[in-house]
Amino acid sequence: MQQLSLALELPDSKPVNPQWFQNLLSVLEVRQEPAWTDNFGKSLRQRLRQWGIAPVKTLSLFSGGGGLDIAFHDAGFEIVKMVELEAKYVQTLQKNAQLGKWLEGSEPICMDIRNYVPAPDLKVDFVIGGPPCQTFSAAGRRAAGVAGTTDSRGTLFQEYVRILKLLQPKGFLFENVYGITGANKGEAWQEIQEAFKEVGYSIYFRILDAADYGVPQHRERLFIVGVKQGKYLFPYPTHGFDSLAQQPYYSAAQAVEGSDTSDIEAGLGGRFGHLLDDIPPGLNYSFYTKEMGYPSPIFSWRSKFSDFLYKADPDVPVRTIKAQGGQYTGPFSWENRRFFIPELKRLQTIPDAYEVVGNRQVAIEQIGNSVPPQLGRILALSILDQVMDVDLPFDLAYLPPDKQLGFRQRKRKLTKTYLQKAQAAIIELSKQGKVKGLDASIYEEKREFVRFLSIDDFSWIEEPVANSVKIHLSCELDSSSWIIKANTNSNWDEPDKFSIDVYPSCGYDDWVLCTNSVKLCAKQLNTHVFTSLWKAFEEKLNEATGKADLVQLSGYYQYNARISGIMNFYCEEKIDLFWRVVQCVTRCIATSAQLKVKEFAEYWGVNEEDVVFYLQSLRAIGYEVRSHNTNPQIPLGEYLIPYAFPTLNPKSVQLRKVL
């Protein structure tokens, strides 16, 4: 792209050379090489001292592992105290506050902010920090809306405001996920803005992408800067398409080059670990979906979080590093392995010399929760310049208030690129014979076998464990039908007590089984047998197609279900109403939507006072049933049954929650 060569006249600022960031690097004598951000921080701190700029006394709240503290410390702020609740994170702060360490002179305080009262003699000019963001995060939105300030963690900003009111600093910086702006239909965001204004601050806010500021990671976060006097403009991006000099992004491969890889990490392992190898860099589990063109889909579209089996592309910044995640939570290296901790630090621009204390998971939590220091440094310099009125010996460029950044639009256009990558990879894998359709070996003569169903965690296993039920199974699978039978004994001469016919809901276009129907037959009207039939179907589905589970066959619950079941009874005795409820659920009646008790009663034809009992009974046979207790985003009095079949298993998050 052609570089701009003329100086720009921006509102409320003097003319700025488009090469302002390159000039800053020149002043600091920093070259953009691997780990250049470490040198940027060191040199910046040294030069500010040499220029006689007095440190700005600063209080850090919700300090975590210290990302913002590193940034502001390097940019001439003196972090006098760091308040953090988690003792395991405070150990990192204490280690790095020692003599000769990165945050030398800072004082970590392990305390709940609700109990923190600044000493009467504490005088600070600035406050930094961002409260825990889980209630505003993408995970919260995916669960069922956003809890926002209805969750106790979402009201921690009020403690931030309380401390601002007590200390009355010149300004503050507040960081959080951008989901905060949409929480509670925007009401939480209005509440937060008003709270800051009520204690005397004019606020300025923007959603920024860390990659635009020299971080090898796309990470969108909301930043609020509050000032007692004057105005504030956010700095121009230093890198990427919106930078004035069109400086290329700092790529993931450049960032990790030369980092410490002595602590060798094994491959992923587990049920899905092998799938990582064939995923093209930059893509995730969606590579194995119909929408990406995979001929024998393993997953359904949007049935997993976007970081599930996400493999980083070495030529561009990685996607957001998550603080929490499971075995298959990326980013993973393009070398088909987990990133080493030193590599993750580089991708977050945490200095190599900064010690992150704790085991791998604790370290990842601190890294993933941090504000990338390089982004923080640029923001800190802009605050030093505008809020603290420090005469810096170099120019900064500021975004006009109405200037729109383009990272969102560019992200929306990536789907086409991902599709092209996927199709090219599928062609290559097909040439190598790695892409296969339905496994024909699944078709077999009638076969009998035994499995055990754990009553405690719904595990489906070949050997008995404590509190498990022995289930006898019979399977006849061919291209015309799958017939799976279950019994608590081996007497197959008994008549069926019920059956479930499973069909595609929208025709056979999405039906991957290459058979006309699936019939699940039970020899007893028994809840364990019912659950076992679905478990056996899931097992055979995985063997035949590689699909991870029944959810991948049906699709994520927020879309129309692609399968439904018709349950028929053959018992002479009267059928209990609970089984009539189960019959409704298998037909997708009152599933996939948040409903009130009255609505469930109407759909199922039962009394309102019995609905909660039926919901608890469904939960007891393996159905995932959500409520306000399991997901605070769901209003009190409403419940959600995501799927028409039991989905609970030992790894289910919902298994550990109480309805």
Beta strands 444-454 and 460-461 are: antiparallel
Between 156 and 174, residue with greater pLDDT = 174
Indicate the pLDDT class of residue 508, thresholds 50, 70 and 90.
low
Q: Please, which residues bridge with residue 106 across strands?
A: none
Can you say whether residue 537 is alpha, beta or left, with left for phi > 0 and alpha for psi between -120 and 50 degrees?
alpha
Q: Tokens 């690097």 map to which residue?
A: 25
The angle that helices 360-369 and 341-348 make with each other, rounded to 10 degrees, is: 10
CA 613 centroid distance within chain: 33
Q: Please, which residues bridge with residue 235 across strands?
A: 398
Interatomic CA distance for residues 650 and 659, integer angstroms: 17
CB 429 within 8 A of CB 278: yes
Q: Examine the pLDDT at 488 and tell me if it is beyond 50.
A: yes
pLDDT, residue 288, reads 93
CB 100 within 8 A of CB 161: no
* pLDDT tens readout for residues 308-366: 999 999 999 999 999 988 889 999 999 999 999 999 999 999 999 999 999 999 999 99
Catalytic residue set? 133
Mean pLDDT for 97-104 is 95
Task: Tell me the whole-structure pTM to 2 decimals.
Answer: 0.82
Between 425 and 133, residue with greater pLDDT = 425
pLDDT, residue 9, reads 47
How far are the Cα atoms of 212, 216, 399 from residue 374, in angstroms, in the given order? 10, 10, 18
Residue 479's nearest CA partner among 533, 442, 436 is 442
Q: Say which amino acid occupies 33.
A: E
Domains delineated in the chain: 21-257+349-396 (3.40.50.150), 273-340+413-431 (no CATH), 440-656 (no CATH)
The proportion of the chain whose per-residue pLDDT surpasses 90, expressed as a percent, equals 73
Query: How high does pLDDT run on average in the chain?
Result: 90
CB 368 within 8 A of CB 208: no
pLDDT, residue 6, reads 38
Between 12 and 271, residue with greater pLDDT = 271
How far are the Cα atoms of 89, 552, 564 from residue 588, in angstroms, in the given order? 46, 16, 6
* pLDDT tens readout for residues 63-78: 999 999 999 999 999 9
pLDDT, residue 387, reads 97
CB 69 within 8 A of CB 84: no
In degrees rounded to 5, what are phi and psi of residue 109? Answer: -125, 120
Between 156 and 82, residue with greater pLDDT = 82
Instruction: Give the containing element (helix H, strand E) for 226.
Output: strand 220-227
